[in-house]
Structure 1
Amino acid sequence: MHTSYMDPQLGSANQFKETWKHTLLLSFQSLGVIYGQLSTAPLYVFGTMNAEDIKSKETVYELFSCIFWTINIISLLKYAFIVLRADDNGEGGTFALYSLLCRHAKVGLLPNDTSANEVMHYETGSPFKIKVESRARRAIEKYKSSHYLMLFLALFGSCMTIGVGVLTPALSVYSVSSGVQRSMSDMAHLFSSSPRKQEAISNAFEKYVPVPTASAILVCLFTLQHYGTHKIGFIFAPIIVIWLIFIGGGGVYNIFHWNKQIIHAVSPMYMYRFVKNIEIKSWRSLGSIILCVAGSEAMFADLGHFTKKSIKITFVCLIYPVLVLCYAGQAAYISKNLHVTDFNHLSESIPHRIRHWFIALSLLASVVGSQATITASFSIINQCLALGCFPRVKVIHTSDKIHGQVYIPDINWLLMVLSLAVTIGFHDIMRIGSATGLAVISGMLVTTCLMSLVIALYWEKNLFESVCCLIFFGSIEVMYVSACMLNFHKGAWYLVVLLALSLTVMLSWHYGTKKKLEFDLQNKVSAEWLTDISPGLGVTRVPGIGFIYTDIVTGIPAFFSHFITNLPAFHQVLIFVSFKSLPMPYVPASRRYLIGRVGPKDLKIYRCVVRYGYCDPIRDTDNFEEQIISSIGEFITMEENEFESMNSSEGRMVVVGKPPADGSALIPLNETNSDEESVGLVSNIETQPAPMVGDASESGLGPVMRKKVRFMLPANSPKMRASVRDELQELIDARESGTAYFLGQVHLAVRHGSDVLKSLLIMTYAFCDKNCREPPVALNIPHAALVEVGTVCCI
Structure 2
Amino acid sequence: MEEILPPDESTREESIDQERQLEEVCQEKGLKTRKLSWQKLRRYDSLDIESRSIGAFQSIGIVYGDIGTSPLYVYSSTFTNGIKHNDDILGVLSLIFYTITLIPLLKYVFFVLKANDNGDGGTFALYSLICRYAKVGLTPSEQAEDREVSNFQLELPNNRLKRASRLKSKLENSKSAKYFLLFATMLGTSMVIGDGVLTPCISVLSAVGGIKEAKSSLTQGLHSYLEARATNLNHLIWSKAQLFGSSQALPGMASPYNDTVGPRFGTDKVGYTFAPIICVWFALIAGIGVRNFIKFDRTVVKAINPKYIVDYFQRNKKDAWISLGGIVLAITGTEALFADVGHFTVRSIQISMCSVTYPALIMAYTGQASFLRKNKELVGDTFYKSIPHHLYWPMFVVAVAAAIIASKAMISGTFSIIQQSLSLGCFPRVKIVHTSTKYEGQVYVPEANYLLMLACVAVTLGFRSTTKIGNAYGIAVVFVMTLTSSFLVLIMVMIWKTNILLVITYVVIIGSVELLYLSSVLYKFDQGGYLPLAFAGLLMAVMFVWNDVYRRKYFYELEHKISPERVKEITNDGNFCRLPGLAMFYSELVQGIPPIFKHYAANVPALHSVLVFVSIKSLPISKVPPEERFLFRRVEPNDLHVFRCVARYGYTDVRNESEPFEKMLVEKLKDFIKDDFWLFHIDPTRSITNGEPVDAENDVGEMKNGVTTHDEVNVVENANSKRVEEEKRHEMLDREIEALDRAWRAGVVHLIGENEVVASKGSGIAKRIMIDYAYNFLKKNLRQTDKVFDIPHKRLLKVGMTYEL
Tell me if TM exceeds 0.5: yes
Which of 80, 87, 96 does residue 58 from structure 1 map onto?
A: 87
Per-residue Cα deviation, 1:229-280 (whole angstroms, up to 9, x for no partner):
7244321100001001100000001111111111101211111223334544
Does the CA-based 8 Å contact 2:82-2:377 persist in structure 1? no
**Higher Cα Rg, which structure:** 2
- For 1:753 and 1:31, the matched residues in 2 are separated by 58
Instruction: Give, in angstroms, the shift of residue 590 of structure 1.
Output: 2.1
Q: 2:408 aligns with which of 371, 385, 389?
A: 371
Deviations 1:500-540 (A, max 9, x none): 11111111111111111111111111010111244445211
Are the aligned partners of 1:56 and 1:335 in contact in 2 as well (CA < 8 Å)?
Answer: no
Matching residue within 750, 764, 788 for 2:774: 764
**Is 1:466 equivalent to 2:503 in the alignment?**
yes
**Which of 587-596 and 753-762 deviates more?**
753-762
Residue by residue over 1:732-757, the C-alpha shift from the partner in whole angstroms, topping out at 9 and shown as x without a partner, is 11122233221112222234554454
Residue in 1 that maps onto 2:740: 731
Q: How does 1:503-514 map to 2 (within 5 A)?
A: 503-514=540-551
Letter in 2 for 1:217: N
Equivalent residue number for residue 242 of structure 2: 225
Q: Select the residue among 646, 651, 668 that pairs with 1:614.
A: 651
- Give the match's secondary structure for 1:54: coil
Task: Calculate the aligned-residue CA RMSD, in Å.
Answer: 2.7
Aligned-residue offset at 1:125: 10
Change (3 A) 1:55 1:43: same
TM-score, with normalisation over the residues of structure 1? 0.83
Q: Does 1:499 align with 2:536?
A: yes
Instruction: Give 3-state SS (helix, strand or coil) of 1:391's partner.
Output: coil
Q: What SS does the corresponding residue of 1:772 show, helix, strand or coil? A: coil
* 2:130 aligned partner: 101
Match of 2:69 among 26, 33, 40: 40
Corresponding position of 2:226: 209
Of 749, 758, 773, the match for 1:740: 749
Question: 2:566 matched to 1:540?
Answer: no
Question: How does 1:425-444 map onto structure 2 within 5 Å?
Answer: 425-444=462-481
For 2:780, the aligned partner's letter is K
Match of 2:141 among 105, 115, 130: 115
C-alpha change, 1:755 and 1:620, in structure 2 (3 Å) is farther
Distance in 2 of aligned mates of 1:313 and 1:294: 19
| Offset from partner CA, 1:669-697 (integer Å, 9 cap, x none) | xxxxxxxxxxxxxxxxxxxxxxxxxxxxx
Contact residue 472 and residue 531 of structure 2 kept, 8 A: yes
| Cα distance between partner residues in 2 of 1:128 and 1:308 | 18
Alignment-derived partner of residue 322 in structure 1: 360
By how many angstroms is 1:772 displaced? 1.2
Structure-1 residue corresponding to 2:561:
524
Per-residue deviation, 1:430: 0.2
Post-superposition CA distance 1:353-408 (Å, at most 9, x none): 21121111101111111110110001100100122111111111111111001111
Query: Using the alignment, how far apart are the partners of 1:267 and 1:632 within structure 2?
Result: 68
Q: Which of 465, 485, 508 is matched with 1:448 structurally?
A: 485
Deviations 1:79-127 (A, max 9, x none): 1111111121112111111111101122122x4xx22523544689963
Q: Secondary structure at the match of 2:76?
A: coil
Tell me which residue corresponds to 2:606.
569
Residues 381-780 of structure 1 aligned to structure 2 (within 5 Å): 381-536=418-573, 538-618=575-655, 623-644=660-681, 721-751=730-760, 753-762=762-771, 763-776=773-786, 778-780=788-790
Q: Go from structure 1 to structure 2 and tell me whether the alpha carbon gap of 1:125 and 1:350 turns closer, same or farther (over 3 Å shift).
A: closer
Match of 1:786 among 796, 799, 803: 796
Distance 1:465 1:792, change over 3 A: farther
C-alpha separation between the residues in 1 aligned to 2:151 and 2:656? 26
Distance 1:543 1:99 in 2: 42
Structure-2 separation of matches of 1:345 and 1:331: 9
Distance 1:318 1:123, change over 3 A: closer
Q: Percent identity?
A: 36
- Paired residue for 1:28? 57
1:286 aligns with 2:295: no
Using the alignment, how far apart are the partners of 2:221 and 2:523 within structure 1?
32
Are 1:593 and 1:609, in contact at CA under 8 Å, matched by a contact in 2?
yes
Aligned match of 1:247: 285
Counterpart for residue 656 of structure 1: none
Secondary structure class of the residue paired with 1:461: coil
Amino acid in the other structure paired with 2:446:
P
**Greater Cα shift, 747-756 or 560-569:** 747-756
Structure 1 pair 57–124 and aligned structure 2 pair: CA distance change class (3 A)? closer
Cα distance in 1 for residues equivalent to 2:764 and 2:310:
51
The amino acid that maps onto 1:169 is: P
Are the structure 2 counterparts of residues 645 and 182 from structure 1 closer, same or farther at C-alpha, using a change threshold of 3 Å?
A: farther
Q: Is the Cα contact below 8 Å between 2:228 and 2:457 reproduced in 1?
A: no
Which amino acid counterpart does residue 735 of structure 2 have in structure 1?
A: D
Structure 2 residue matching 1:392: 3-state secondary structure = coil
Q: Secondary structure at the match of 1:234?
A: helix
Per-residue deviation, 1:335: 1.7
Correspondence 1:301 to 2:345: no
Return the offset for 1:761. Answer: 3.4
- Opposite residue 554 of structure 1, the aligned amino acid is Q
Distance 1:5 1:508 in 2: 39
In the alignment, does 2:212 pair up with 1:181? yes
Alignment of 1:91 onto 2:120: yes
Structure 2 match to 1:263: 301
After superposition, the Cα gap between the structure-2 partners of 1:718 and 1:752, relative to the gap in structure 1 and judged at 3 Å, is closer
Q: Is the 8 A contact 1:435 1:492 kept in 2?
A: yes
Instruction: Classify 1:379/1:56 alpha carbon distance in 2 versus 1 (closer, same or farther; 3 Å).
Output: same
Instruction: After superposing the two structures, state which structure 1 stretch, 572-581 or 118-127, moved more.
Output: 118-127
Summarize the Cα distance change of 1:485–1:124 in structure 2 as closer, same or farther, 3 Å threshold: closer
SS in 2 for 1:724: helix
- Secondary structure of the residue aligned to 1:412 is helix
Q: Whole-Å Cα distance in 2 between the matches of residues 277 and 645 of structure 1? A: 85
Gaps of 5+ in 1: 186-197, 647-716
Q: Kindly provide the amino acid, as one letter, of the partner of residue 252 in structure 1.
A: V
527 and 502 in structure 1: CA distance in 2 versus 1, 3 angstrom threshold: same
CA contact (8 A) 2:482 2:514 kept: yes
The offset of 1:766, in angstroms, is: 1.7
Aligned partner letter, 1:354: L
Return 5+ residue gaps in structure 2 as ranges: 1-38, 247-265, 684-725
Alignment-derived partner of residue 161 in structure 1: 192
Work out whether residues 127 and 181 of structure 2, in 8 Å CA contact, stay in contact via their aligned partners in 1: yes
Moved more, 216-225 or 60-69: 216-225
CA displacement at 1:760 relative to structure 2: 4.4
Aligned-partner Cα distance in 1 for 2:509–2:353 = 22
Q: Is the 8 A contact 2:587 2:594 kept in 1?
A: yes
Quote the Cα distance in structure 1 between the aligned partners of 2:150 and 2:369.
60
* Structure (1 or 2) with the greater helix fraction: 2
Please tell me the residue identity of whatever aligns with 1:410.
E
Correspondent of 1:354 among 379, 391, 406: 391
SS of 2:376's partner is coil
Tell me if structure 1 keeps the 8 A contact 2:132–2:152.
no
User: Is 1:138 aligned to residue 147 of structure 2?
Assistant: no
What is the SS of the residue equivalent to 1:627? helix
Q: Deviations over 1:322-361 (max 9, x none)?
A: 1011001111111211234x54431111112211211111
